């Protein structure tokens, strides 16, 4: 019985921790991704070449959002803030002020609900292992 309750608690925590992406419109997210994100991050979420090496201006190229990138290493809150406030804005709220990011803010372009739709679309393309790992990075609500 204790094992059963423990399993239920783990499953509930994972689902609860990932609630922002539940019941989102993957189709709307994909359309918004293609319209607003693909020009930098690639139509197939592949990112820009040499995305780990800064360009001459010190800004890293746009990373992939597929399983080869690091998007799935971050919690939902950071991904949302990064999209809404841009790279520098999101990191500044977390006390990181020396990072030069090329990611623009989309707060005046995409609604909060649609930012979640975009993130849900991106997440929908990952293998189950990546989804599970990323869900575990989210705080329970």
Q: What is the pLDDT of residue 26?
A: 97
Identify the CATH class of 2-135. mainly alpha
The phi-psi region of residue 127 (left if phi > 0; otherwise alpha if psi is between -120 and 50; otherwise beta) is beta
How sure is the predictor about 141, in pLDDT bands with cuts at 50, 70 and 90? low
Q: What is the pLDDT of residue 1?
A: 52
How sure is the predictor about 117, in pLDDT bands with cuts at 50, 70 and 90? very high
Q: What is the dihedral of CA 37, 45, 72, 51, to 10 degrees?
A: -90
How sure is the predictor about 3, in pLDDT bands with cuts at 50, 70 and 90? very low
Residue by residue, what is the 3-state secondary structure of the chain? CHHHHHHHHHHHHHHHHCHHHCCCCHHHHHHHHHHHCHHHHCCCCCCCCCCCCCCCCCCCCCCCCCCCCCHHHCCHHHHHHHHHHHHHHHHHCCCCCCCCCCCCCCCCCCCHHHHHHHHHHHHHCCCHHHHHHHHCCCCCC
Closest CA to 101 of 57, 67, 46, 43: 57
Average pLDDT over residues 4-11: 41
Of 37-41, 54-58, 69-73, 118-122, least confident by mean pLDDT is 54-58
């Amino acid at each position: 019985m204790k094992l059963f309750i423990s399993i239920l608690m783990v499953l509930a925590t994972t689902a609860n921790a990932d609630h922002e992406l539940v019941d989102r419109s993957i189709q709307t997210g994909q359309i918004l991704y293609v319209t607003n994100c693909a020009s930098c991050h690639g139509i197939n979420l592949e990112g820009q070449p040499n995305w780990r090496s800064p360009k001459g201006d010190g800004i890293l190229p746009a990373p992939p959002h597929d399983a080869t990138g690091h998007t799935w290493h971050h919690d939902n809150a950071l991904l949302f803030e990064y999209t809404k406030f841009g790279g520098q804005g999101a990191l500044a709220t977390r006390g990181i002020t020396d990072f030069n990011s090329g990611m623009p803010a989309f707060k005046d372009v995409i609604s909060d609900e649609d930012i979640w739709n975009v993130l849900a679309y991106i997440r929908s393309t990952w293998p189950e292992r990546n989804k599970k790992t990323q869900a575990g990075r989210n705080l329970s609500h």
